[in-house]
C-alpha cells in the first residue's frame, strides 16, 4: 500500500499554561517499527502522540517524518493517520461512508471512493457490515472500522491512542493480535499509546516508557524487562522487586527469587520475613512477603514447588536470589 | 412488601389524571364546541351538531381578514425561525471557545428571558419612536415610522426566541464529542467541510428543534407583539381582538383546524422516522456484544 516512514522527535517540548506536559524529549523510531508509548496517566504519552499527529502544536522542537520536517504542517499533510480513543466514528454515517470520508473530502468520485472503502473493509474483515451505522456495531467491530478509516489515506505512520482500552479483556487480547498482524502485513510504522505494560510487551518492537513528560527508558520489551534502568521503570513494567542493597536500589524479578527453608543458610544475599498474602495465579503462586527490615516484596513459586512446602499467611520464610540476576537502579 | 401496587401509586395516578385533564381539557372543549349548531354560542350546551362554523371559516369572515393575519404571522414566524437558527448555531459554535467578555455577552442575551416581556417590547417601541423623531426632525421631514412587522416586530420576537435557541445550542455542544472534529481534520477535512459533513448532520435534529421552537414562540407571541408590532396585526392579536368583539364559535373551528394540521404534521414526521429506523434495522445490530 504505502511506504513506511521513520519518525524522529528532536528536543520536543509541550507546555500548557502552567505545566510542562512533554519535556524536551528526543526519540527515533525506525520505519516499519511497532512502537508503544507506555506510561501512567499524565506522563505525556498522549500529548506526544497528538503532536506527531499534528493535533497539538509543539511549543518547541522538531518533528521529522521520513525526510520531511512536519512540525508546522496540518495533520492531513503529514502522512500520518490517527485512530482515536473510543474511535470517534461519525455516528450519522454508515460504515462504508465512514471509511470513505477522507476520500470524499478530497473530492474523489463516489464510485471510486466506495470501491476503495470496500477494499479496506475487506482488509479488516468488515465487508458484511458496510451498511450499518456505528451504533449497530460491537466495540471490536467499531475498532476495525476505525482502522479501515484511518488506513484509507495510505498513511506512512499510523497513530493509535489507547486503541484497546474500550474493549473487554478477552476481546482486547484478540484485537491486539490483529493489530500486530495488520502492522506486519502493511509494513508501516505504528505508534501506539497505552498504559498497559502487558499490551506494550505483547505488541511492541520498541517500548518508550515515559514518566513526568520525560522518557524513562527506550528499548525492546526484553531489554526493558530484563534491565530496568530506574525504580520507576522496574515498578511500572511490573514483575520486579525493588530492594535496598546498601545505599543503592536493585531490581530482581519475582520469578528469580528463590525460597529457602526457615533454617537453611545461604552465602548469597537473603531476606527473611513473613508471608503477607498468597495468590494462586494458575501458572504460579504469587507470594507477597514483608521482610523483617520492613520491605515489601513478592516471589513466584511454581505449583509443584509450592506443594512441596505449602505456605500460609504468616509463615516465616527466607528468600534469596542470584546476584547476577539483580540490576542496579539509577 | 407485597406484590402489586402501593396506595401511593393510585393517589399519584389520580393526580396525574387530573393534570392531563387540565392540560387537554381546554383543547377537547374547543374541539367539541367547534361542531356547535348554527344557532349555538361560545359556551356549552351544544345546540345541535353541524359543520356550519367550518363552512363560515373557509367562506371568510366579514369583520377581520384572518387570512391576511395568518399570512403575516407565517411570514414573520419563518423569518424569525431562520434568524434564530443561524444566530444560535453560530453563537453555539463561538461560545465553545473562551473569549473575552463571553460571560457578560451570555448574560446579556439571557437577560431578556427574565425581564418582563411587556417591558422589553415597550422599550423597543420607545426606541423606535425616538428614532422616528430624530429622523423626522433632522433628516427626513416626510418620515413616518420605522415600526413594523419586520423591524420592531421582528426585533421583539427575536428577544424572545434567541435566548432559547442559544440555551439549547449550549446544551447540544456541551455533549458534542470534539474528537469527531479532530477525526475529520485528521482525515483532511477543511473547517468548512467539518461543519458541513460532520457537525451539522449530527446536531441537525436539535437545529430543526430550535427552528420549530423559534417558529412556535413567534407564532403565538402576544405580549411583545402587542407593544412593538406597529400598524398591522399578527394572527394572535387578531384572534384576541375577535374573542372580545365576536361571539361566534368560528374561532373554535379555526382552533380545531390548526390543531388538526399540527397533529397531521407530527404524525407524518413520526411515521417517516419509524420507516427510516426500520430500514436501518435490516442490517442487524451487534452493539454491546463482545465481538
The DSSP result for A24-54, as a single string, is: EEEEEE-TT-EEEEE-STTSSHHHHHHHHHT
Task: Count structural domains, chain B.
Answer: 1
Q: Do B284 and A136 touch (CB under 8 A)?
A: yes
Q: Do A105 and B198 touch (CB under 8 A)?
A: no
Alpha-carbon span A214 to A216, nearest angstrom: 6
- Contact between B147 and B227 under an 8 Å Cβ cutoff? The reply is no
For residue B147, what is the domain's CATH number? 1.10.3720.10
Residues on chain A touching B187 (C-beta within 8 angstroms):
76, 81, 101-102, 105, 149, 153
State the DSSP H helix or E strand holding residue B129, giving kind and residue range, or none if neither.
Answer: helix B117-134
Q: Where are the alpha helices (DSSP H) in chain A?
A: 45-53, 95-99, 101-105, 110-123, 139-151, 169-186, 197-203, 221-226, 231-237, 303-308
Identify the residue whose cell numbers are 528463590: A258
State the DSSP H helix or E strand holding residue B118, giving kind and residue range, or none if neither.
Answer: helix B117-134
In a domain, B264, yes or no: no
Mean pLDDT value across residues B96-119: 86
Alpha-carbon span A86 to A167, nearest angstrom: 9
Greater model confidence, A191 or A272: A191
State the complex-level ipTM: 0.84
Q: Do A88 and B183 touch (CB under 8 A)?
A: yes
What percent helix, strand, coil does chain A show, rounded to 5? 30, 35, 35
Per-residue confidence (pLDDT) for residue A143, from 0 to 100: 92
Least confident of B126-135, B158-167, B230-239: B230-239
- From the list A76, A81, A140, the residue facing B291 with the nearest CB is A140
Q: Do B189 and A171 touch (CB under 8 A)?
A: no
Per-residue confidence (pLDDT) for residue A262, from 0 to 100: 53
| B115 confidence band (pLDDT: 50, 70, 90) | confident
Assess B286–A contact: CB distance below 8 Å, yes or no. Answer: yes
Q: Do A55 and B186 touch (CB under 8 A)?
A: yes
Tens digits of residue pLDDT in A75-113 = 999 999 999 988 999 999 999 999 999 999 999 999 999
- Contact between A28 and A186 under an 8 Å Cβ cutoff? The reply is no
In a domain, B84, yes or no: yes
Greater model confidence, B261 or A159: A159
pLDDT score of A246 more than 80: no
In a domain, B64, yes or no: no
Alpha-carbon span B128 to B134, nearest angstrom: 10
In a domain, B40, yes or no: no
pLDDT score of B62 more than 70: no
Per-residue confidence (pLDDT) for residue B193, from 0 to 100: 95
Q: Do A170 and B184 touch (CB under 8 A)?
A: no
pLDDT score of B281 more than 50: yes
In a domain, B138, yes or no: yes
pLDDT score of A2 more than 60: no
* B288 → chain A, closest CA residue: A138
Mean pLDDT value across residues B200-227: 89
State the DSSP H helix or E strand holding residue B217, giving kind and residue range, or none if neither.
Answer: helix B200-219
- From the list B197, B198, B283, the residue facing A131 with the nearest CB is B283
Mean pLDDT value across residues B244-264: 79
In a domain, B181, yes or no: yes
In a domain, B178, yes or no: yes
Per-residue confidence (pLDDT) for residue B43, from 0 to 100: 75
Question: How many Cα atoms occupy the beta-carbon half-sphere of A119 within 13 Å?
Answer: 10
Least confident of B6-15, B43-52, B183-192: B43-52
Per-residue confidence (pLDDT) for residue A51, from 0 to 100: 95
Min distance A201 CA to chain B CA atoms (Å): 24
Cis peptide before B45 (omega within 30 of 0): yes
Per-residue confidence (pLDDT) for residue A90, from 0 to 100: 96
| B61 confidence band (pLDDT: 50, 70, 90) | low
In a domain, B255, yes or no: no
* A143 → chain B, closest CA residue: B291
Least confident of A118-122, A258-262, B131-135, B168-172: A258-262
Tens digits of residue pLDDT in A191-233 = 999 999 999 999 999 999 999 999 999 999 999 999 999 999 9
pTM for this model (two decimals): 0.82
Query: The C-alpha cell of B123 is what?
Result: 422599550
Q: Number of helices (H) and strands (E) in chain A: give both, helices first.
A: 10, 18
Burial of A236 (0-12, 13-18, 19+ CB in 10 A): buried
Per-residue confidence (pLDDT) for residue A55, from 0 to 100: 93
Residue A180 phi/psi, 5° resolution?
-65, -45
Q: Do A88 and B179 touch (CB under 8 A)?
A: yes
Cis peptide before B53 (omega within 30 of 0): no
Assess B202–A contact: CB distance below 8 Å, yes or no. Answer: yes
Tens digits of residue pLDDT in B82-107 = 999 999 999 999 988 888 888 898 88
Alpha-carbon span B79 to B73, nearest angstrom: 10
pLDDT score of B169 more than 80: yes
Mean pLDDT value across residues B239-253: 75
For residues A302, A308, A311, A316, the Cα torsion angle rounded to the nearest 10 degrees is -110
pLDDT score of B245 more than 80: no
Mean pLDDT value across residues B36-48: 77
Percent of chain B with pLDDT over 90: 29
How far is C-alpha B31 from the geometric centre of its chain's CA atoms?
22
Domain with B143 in it: 69-245
For residues A22, A24, A30, A33, the Cα torsion angle rounded to the nearest 10 degrees is -20
Greater model confidence, B5 or A51: A51
Query: The C-alpha cell of B71 is what?
Result: 399570512
| B247 confidence band (pLDDT: 50, 70, 90) | low
Per-residue confidence (pLDDT) for residue A1, from 0 to 100: 45
Amino acid at each position: 500500500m504505502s511506504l513506511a516512514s521513520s519518525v524522529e522527535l528532536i528536543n520536543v517540548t509541550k507546555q500548557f499554561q502552567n505545566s510542562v506536559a512533554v519535556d524536551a524529549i528526543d526519540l527515533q523510531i525506525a520505519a516499519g517499527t511497532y512502537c508503544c508509548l507506555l506510561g501512567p496517566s499524565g506522563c505525556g504519552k498522549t500529548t506526544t502522540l497528538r503532536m506527531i499527529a499534528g493535533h497539538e502544536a509543539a511549543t518547541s522542537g522538531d518533528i521529522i517524518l521520513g525526510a520531511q520536517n512536519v512540525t508546522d504542517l496540518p495533520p492531513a499533510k503529514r502522512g500520518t493517520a490517527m485512530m482515536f480513543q473510543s474511535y470517534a466514528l461519525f455516528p450519522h454515517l454508515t460504515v462504508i461512508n465512514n471509511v470513505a470520508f477522507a476520500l470524499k473530502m478530497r473530492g474523489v468520485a463516489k464510485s471510486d471512493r466506495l470501491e476503495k472503502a470496500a477494499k479496506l473493509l475487506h482488509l479488516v474483515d468488515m465487508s458484511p457490515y458496510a451498511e450499518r451505522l456505528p451504533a449497530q456495531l460491537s466495540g471490536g467491530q467499531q475498532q476495525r472500522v476505525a482502522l479501515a478509516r484511518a488506513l484509507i489515506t495510505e498513511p506512512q505512520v499510523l497513530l493509535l491512542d489507547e486503541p484497546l482500552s474500550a474493549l473487554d479483556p478477552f476481546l482486547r487480547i484478540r484485537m491486539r493480535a490483529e493489530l500486530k498482524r495488520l502492522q506486519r502485513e502493511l509494513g508501516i510504522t505504528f505508534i501506539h499509546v497505552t498504559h498497559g505494560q502487558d499490551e506494550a510487551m505483547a505488541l511492541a518492537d520498541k517500548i518508550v516508557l515515559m514518566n513526568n513528560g520525560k522518557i524513562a527508558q527506550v528499548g525492546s520489551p526484553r531489554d526493558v524487562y530484563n534491565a530496568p534502568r530506574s525504580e520507576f521503570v522496574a515498578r511500572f513494567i511490573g514483575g520486579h522487586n525493588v530492594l535496598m542493597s546498601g545505599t543503592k536500589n536493585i531490581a530482581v524479578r519475582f520469578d528469580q527469587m528463590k525460597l529457602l527453608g526457615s533454617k537453611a543458610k545461604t552465602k548469597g544475599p537473603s531476606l527473611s520475613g513473613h508471608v503477607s498474602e498468597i495468590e494462586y495465579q494458575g501458572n504460579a503462586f504469587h507470594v507477597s512477603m514483608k521482610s523483617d527490615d520492613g520491605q515489601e516484596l513478592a516471589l513466584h513459586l511454581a505449583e509443584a514447588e509450592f506443594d512441596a512446602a505449602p505456605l500460609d499467611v504468616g509463615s516465616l520464610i527466607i528468600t534469596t536470589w542470584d546476584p547476577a540476576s539483580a540490576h542496579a537502579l539509577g | 412488601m407485597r406484590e402489586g401496587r402501593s396506595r401511593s401509586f393510585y393517589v399519584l395516578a389520580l393526580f396525574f389524571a387530573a393534570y392531563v385533564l387540565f392540560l387537554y381539557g381546554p383543547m377537547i372543549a374547543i374541539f367539541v364546541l367547534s361542531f356547535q349548531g348554527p344557532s349555538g354560542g361560545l359556551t356549552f350546551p351544544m345546540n345541535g351538531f353541524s359543520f356550519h362554523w367550518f363552512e363560515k371559516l373557509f367562506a371568510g369572515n366579514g369583520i377581520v381578514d384572518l387570512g391576511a393575519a395568518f399570512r403575516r404571522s407565517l411570514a414573520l414566524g419563518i423569518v424569525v425561525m431562520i434568524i434564530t437558527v443561524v444566530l444560535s448555531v453560530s453563537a453555539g459554535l463561538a461560545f465553545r471557545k473562551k473569549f473575552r467578555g463571553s460571560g457578560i455577552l451570555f448574560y446579556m442575551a439571557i437577560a431578556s428571558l427574565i425581564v418582563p416581556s411587556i417591558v422589553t417590547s415597550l422599550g423597543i417601541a420607545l426606541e423606535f419612536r425616538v428614532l422616528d423623531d430624530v429622523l423626522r426632525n433632522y433628516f427626513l421631514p416626510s418620515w413616518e415610522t420605522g415600526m413594523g412587522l419586520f423591524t420592531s416586530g421582528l426585533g421583539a420576537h427575536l428577544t424572545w426566541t434567541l435566548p432559547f435557541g442559544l440555551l439549547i445550542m449550549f446544551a447540544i455542544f456541551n455533549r458534542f464529542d470534539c474528537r469527531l472534529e479532530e477525526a475529520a481534520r485528521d482525515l483532511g477535512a477543511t473547517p468548512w467541510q467539518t461543519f458541513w459533513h460532520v457537525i451539522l448532520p449530527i446536531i441537525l435534529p436539535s437545529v430543526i428543534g430550535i427552528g420549530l421552537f423559534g417558529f412556535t414562540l413567534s407564532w403565538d407571541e402576544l405580549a411583545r407583539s402587542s407593544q412593538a408590532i406597529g400598524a398591522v396585526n399578527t394572527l394572535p392579536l387578531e384572534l384576541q381582538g375577535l374573542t372580545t368583539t365576536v361571539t361566534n364559535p368560528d374561532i373554535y373551528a379555526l382552533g380545531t383546524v390548526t390543531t388538526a394540521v399540527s397533529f397531521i404534521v407530527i404524525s407524518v414526521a413520526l411515521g417517516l422516522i419509524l420507516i427510516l429506523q426500520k430500514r436501518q434495522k435490516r442490517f442487524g445490530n451487534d452493539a454491546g456484544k463482545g465481538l
